[in-house]
Amino acid sequence: MILYLILALKSLILIVSVLISIAYLTAVERKVMGSIQRRIGPTTVGMYGTLQPFADALKLFLKEVVLPMFSNRNLFLGAPVVTLTLSFVGWAVIPLDKGVVISDFSLGILFLLAVSSLGIYGIVFSGWAAGSKYSLMGSLRSTAQMISYEVALSLLILCVIFCSGTTSLTGLCEAQKSVFFIIPLAPIALMFYISMLAETNRAPFDLPEAESELVSGFFTEHSAFPFAFFFLGEYGNMILISALASFLFLGGYLLPSTLTDLGSLMPGSIFNGIAIPGLVLGIKVALLLFGFVWVRATFPRFRYDQLMSVMWKSFLPLGIGFVLLVPSLIICLV
């Protein structure tokens, strides 16, 4: 019984931490985009606009839920819950340090891929259940885009698994003690980051939510708290996939080997603190998320045919080539 209580407490702390991270990610995004576009950004609610995300959340949860006349009520309200829930489930296998994880699953990477694949159901259900052609077209676009780029993500992750020899996130992190995989696998890391943008429907690949074409995509008809759930789920998926990328290519919670050697020469320094691994992981995730915002404010939106062409004519052949090349190099070097 005590073990279940401890597990529930860990899960609650994790969910609250992720929700707070999502709130301030939206605030940082608006401030950074404001600076890039020579605007101020939110400044009214709280000091420097720090409480603006909570004001937005309160507004959404107090608004009336409008149900379209021809919608399927159960699926219409259930789809946002599915999306938000799956954005939390993946954190169960993300370690903050060696042994500091809810479930130290030996197939953690495959578990995260399975969770990301299930996220498509929430989008399909929302688009179909709304009874709107805009929502349906947005959900079909998003489904095709996510399924396509999951193929590329799987192939690129397979290359990292070849190098580490494990599908455990902890084992993957420990395999990068000497060198982070972003150095020998730089082209794969770049392709993975581009695929992350497409997988999370972020600009310049936000075709399912193209405001000039499809209004708001698959959640056009959603308002109040169902819209808030979709919003939280989208940003939660951004943080989750950034954490996965940090484990695949940036060593996860590990410091670079040069800083680790420096810390061993300085007893009692900040490099030996208990909270340092979680802080290191947080900094890496924050840098990757800053890239999301930077790309959104910099690049124009792609056409849908260009998006799919990049995947099937460029990323897929390159991914298959890397899957053949990486193990061949490992065998030759070993």
Name the amino acid, one letter, at 325: L
69 in the same domain as 47: no
307 in the same domain as 204: yes
Q: How many CB atoms lie within 10 A of CB 12?
A: 10
Final residue belonging to a domain, choices 11, 35, 54: 54
Backbone angle region of 279, left / alpha / beta, with phi > 0 → left and psi within -120 to 50 → alpha: alpha
Per-residue pLDDT of 34-93, as tens digits, reads 999 888 888 888 888 889 999 998 998 898 888 888 888 899 999 999 999 999 999 989
Q: Is the pLDDT of residue 145 over 90?
A: no
Q: For the chain, how many structural domains are there in total?
A: 2
321 in the same domain as 213: yes
d(CA 290, CA 296): 10
Per-residue pLDDT of 97-132, as tens digits, reads 887 888 877 888 999 999 988 888 888 898 899 888
13 in the same domain as 145: no
191 in the same domain as 137: yes
Nearest alpha-carbon partner for 246 in 182, 327, 294: 182
46 in the same domain as 162: no
207 in the same domain as 101: yes
78 in the same domain as 18: no
pLDDT of residue 103: 81
166 in the same domain as 38: no
From residue 85, give the alpha-carbon distance in Å to each of 19, 51, 88, 230, 235.
12, 25, 5, 10, 13
Final residue belonging to a domain, choices 54, 73, 99: 54
Strands annotated E in the chain = none
Final residue belonging to a domain, choices 9, 34, 54: 54
41 in the same domain as 69: no
pTM tops 0.85, yes or no: yes
The parent domain of residue 283 ranges over 63-333
